[in-house]
DNA sequence: TATAAGTGCAATTATTCGGTTGCGCAAATA
DNA sequence: TATTTGCGCAACCGAATAATTGCACTTATA
């Protein structure tokens, strides 16, 4: 059973859950209302998100509020960093080409 | 058959392939040498990456060089943007708290 | 106290995934 | 021309995935 953040965000429903609780903590029932699926299915997604520590829970009586662990989201950003560097470099190179062209025009 | 960029990067082998061809275009055989798996298995990953337009091919004789479509990687960055905003806001809030504490010290 | 509401967990099922093996085809090479 | 090399594709297989259904447990409410 692989359980990393990239596998976690692979599912569109889980990405939607992440997007929702990023704005405010929510209960499984409240979440399920947003999707065309059962509460139990949402619970399963929550379990997966919990297992890779993307979300944390806060019990309030019989309700459980889940909130996003923003810090964990940075892990994706860290992986992306290497590629961001590349496309920024390319942008700078293009920038350079454009300025050379401009010089040649003058 | 779901085929989006998030499902594509869910697999660790595919992320490794992306990382490799980001540096230089490579053939399936060359890629397979980096993994403990068959060329055909790599070919399957390549197919998936191609289907969501994360990579492009360049035929050279009987060899096919695959290169990363950097632009497509930005789609992940775009999705991440909303969360990056949040953690930057939090950071700024923390920053503010710290400066207030500093003022109170003085 | 009896009932309803909110939740997690286990069993089941259809589908997808990642891998292997075995082709066939085109290009390079002997 | 015969053989080797590089490749994609199809068939098959075991494991993982996402969903449903049914249940048990705890907390709120009538």
Least confident of A19-23, A54-58, B92-96: B92-96
Specify the pLDDT at position A106.
47
Average pLDDT, chain A: 90
C-alpha B78/C-alpha B33 separation (Å) is 33
pLDDT at A91 over 80: no
Report yes or no: A80 at the B interface, CB cutoff 8 Å.
yes
CB B30 within 8 A of CB B63: no
In this prediction, residue A5 has a pLDDT band, given cuts at 50, 70 and 90, of very high
Nearest to residue B83, comparing CAs of A49, A47, A44, A71? A71
Average pLDDT estimate for A26-33: 97
**CB B8: neighbour CB atoms within 10 A?**
26
Specify the pLDDT at position B35.
96
- pLDDT tens for each residue of chain B, 106 residues long: 668 999 999 999 999 999 999 999 999 999 999 999 999 999 999 999 999 999 999 999 999 999 999 999 999 999 999 999 998 887 666 666 666 665 565 4
Return the sign of the alpha-carbon dihedral for residues A49, A52, A56, A62.
positive
B19's CB contacts (< 8 A; 6+ apart) are A82
Report yes or no: B78 at the A interface, CB cutoff 8 Å.
no
Average pLDDT estimate for A80-101: 76
Backbone angles phi, psi at A19, to 5 degrees: -60, -40
Average pLDDT estimate for A32-53: 97
C-alpha A11/C-alpha A88 separation (Å) is 29
In this prediction, residue A43 has a pLDDT band, given cuts at 50, 70 and 90, of very high
Identify the closest residue of chain B to A86 by CA–CA distance: B70
Report yes or no: A22 at the B interface, CB cutoff 8 Å.
yes
Domains of chain B: 5-105 (1.10.10.10)
DSSP assignment of chain B equals ----HHHHTTSHHHHHHHHHHHHS-B-HHHHHTTTTS-HHHHHHHHHHHHHTTSEEEEEETTEEEEEE-HHHHHHHHHHHHHHHHHHHHHHHHHHHHHHHHHHHH-
pLDDT at A8 over 60: yes
Q: Calculate the CA A103 to chain-centre distance.
A: 43
Subunit contact A80:B76, Cβ cutoff 8 A: yes
Interface test with A, best of B83, B91, B93 (most A CBs within 10 A): B83
Under DSSP, is residue A32 helix (H, G, I), strand (E, B) or coil?
Answer: helix
CB B41 within 8 A of CB B52: no
∠ Cα B30 B36 B40 (to 5°): 60
B62 CA, D19 C1': Å apart? 44
Specify the pLDDT at position A105.
52
């Amino acid at each position: 059973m692989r359980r990393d953040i990239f596998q976690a965000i692979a599912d569109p429903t889980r990405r939607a859950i992440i997007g929702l609780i990023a704005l405010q903590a929510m209960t499984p029932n409240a979440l399920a209302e947003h999707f065309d699926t059962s509460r139990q299915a949402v619970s399963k997604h929550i379990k997966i998100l919990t297992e890779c520590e993307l979300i944390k829970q806060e019990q309030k009586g019989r309700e459980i509020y889940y909130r996003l662990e923003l810090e964990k989201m940075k892990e994706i950003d860290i992986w992306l960093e290497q590629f961001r560097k590349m496309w920024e470099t390319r942008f700078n190179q293009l920038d350079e080409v454009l300025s050379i062209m401009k010089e040649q025009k003058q």
